[in-house]
Structure 1
Amino acid sequence: MRFKDKVVIITGGGSGIGLAAARKFIDHGANVLITGRRKAQLDSVTAGSSNLQGLVADSSDPEAATRTVAAAMDYWGRIDIVVNNAGSGVIQPLVETNAKSISDIFAVNVAGPTLLASAAIPQLAKTGGSIVNLSSTYGSKAAADLSLYAASKAALEHLTRCWALELAPKGIRVNAVASGPVETEFLRERMGLSDKEITAVKEQERRAIPLGRRGVPNDVARWILNLADPEANWITGQIIAIDGGLVIT
């Protein structure tokens, strides 16, 4: 019960890594607010749980941050941990890049986490809380046709370091998990790939990962909890790669 009575916000928490982390936090005594764009999905995963609440919110919406913080405060009156998990991706050659594709991915992967972190600072300062950002192997590893996604995650990693310096005097820790490929619906729902494309990408990734498999949500979720753990109180400004060794290839 290492998170007993703590209050956690997880964006994009209706499925995948976000939902796995939410369930682990609850197992350890926390109250969790998850956000997502699909009301039916949120209603389904929160049904029957007083410790898990859902809020329909799109991380690309500038108004979502203040609504999310207000909802957590209305439910439980405090905020201890913010997990910026919601993310967007795109496989797009440079020659096809346009202003909208740039704006769309940075709105979710950079602006959304920044606005939520900013909105939560007053409450996190009261509780000596922490922020965990979800990055990617490609925040530090170059890849063809992933320049927009990779650049947005690189930006999030540097934001993590800068926020850690800025917020340390307030007693707020900031870290990030750089996840490798995980078995979720990300490739279909967020990258818009076809079944054939998904199969090809997964096979390519399996061959590239030294440990020989794609991850599962709990592989990453447990490290979100480890970084958020109050006993990890001398860790800040760090990017932890959880990717089966992909980043070193």
Structure 2
Amino acid sequence: MAHTTDRAITDLFGLDVVAPSLLAREALPHLRRSRGSIVNISSTYGHRPLPGGAHYAASKAALEQLTRSWAVELAADGIRVNALAPGPTESQALAAAGLPQETIEQIKHEEASRIPLARRGDPDEVAAWILRLADPATTWLTGRILTIDGGLELT
């Protein structure tokens, strides 16, 4: 927290709150015609503390609240709104943050050791749940935050 900058906070909320809001607004006419759905991407840290990443957690918590509020607001139009909250998942995010490989491996090991299923998620697992939430056959699910994190939320 001591090293937080206003720019970093603004960028984070721009990506996790403002961008989905603007995208949803622009998609709204199509969603109303098609009775489509919105699937937001949160994080397990949208509803659990993340020491050293409080603003990230707060931006995801805001997105989860948008999800619930939009679900109620758009239900009359037949639009479902849900969010997926993955736990630690394999990606290039740690490398993109400029962390050295040794640090990346240490983080991955520490994360996996806290997850009951003892591993980080695979991007294909996340994608499969996005498709399930967006599936037009999923007709009676809205306003939900689905956490897929190998059981991390239970610890």
TM-score bracket, normalised by the shorter chain, equals: over 0.9
CA RMSD of aligned residues (A): 0.9
The two structures have a TM-score, normalised by structure 1, of 0.61
* Superposition pairs of residues 88-167 of structure 1, within 5 angstroms: 94-167=1-74
Correspondence for 2:103 among 197, 201, 204 = 197
The structure whose residues are more often helix, as a share, is 2
Correspondence for 1:236 among 142, 146, 151 = 142
In structure 2, the gaps of 5 or more residues are none
- Deviant stretches of 4+, over 2 Å: 191-194
State the AA in 2 paired with 1:216: D
The structure whose residues are more often strand, as a share, is 1
Task: With a CA cutoff of 8 Å and minimum separation of 6, indicate the structure with the bigger relative contact order.
Answer: 2
State the AA in 2 paired with 1:179: P
In structure 1, the gaps of 5 or more residues are 1-93
Q: Provide the secondary structure at the position in 2 that maps to 1:235.
A: coil
Q: How many residues align?
A: 155
* Superposition pairs of residues 4-153 of structure 1, within 5 angstroms: 94-153=1-60
**Aligned-residue offset at 1:223:** 0.8
Query: Partners of 1:161 and 1:96 in 2: how far apart?
Result: 32
**Which string of whole-angstrom CA distances, capped at 9 and with x for unpartnered residues, describes residues 185-206 of structure 1?**
12222x3322122111101101
CA contact (8 A) 1:140 1:247 kept: no
Correspondence for 1:175 among 68, 82, 92 = 82
**What fraction of aligned residue pairs are identical, expressed as a percent?**
52
The two structures have a TM-score, normalised by structure 2, of 0.97
The answer on 1:218 being equivalent to 2:124 is yes
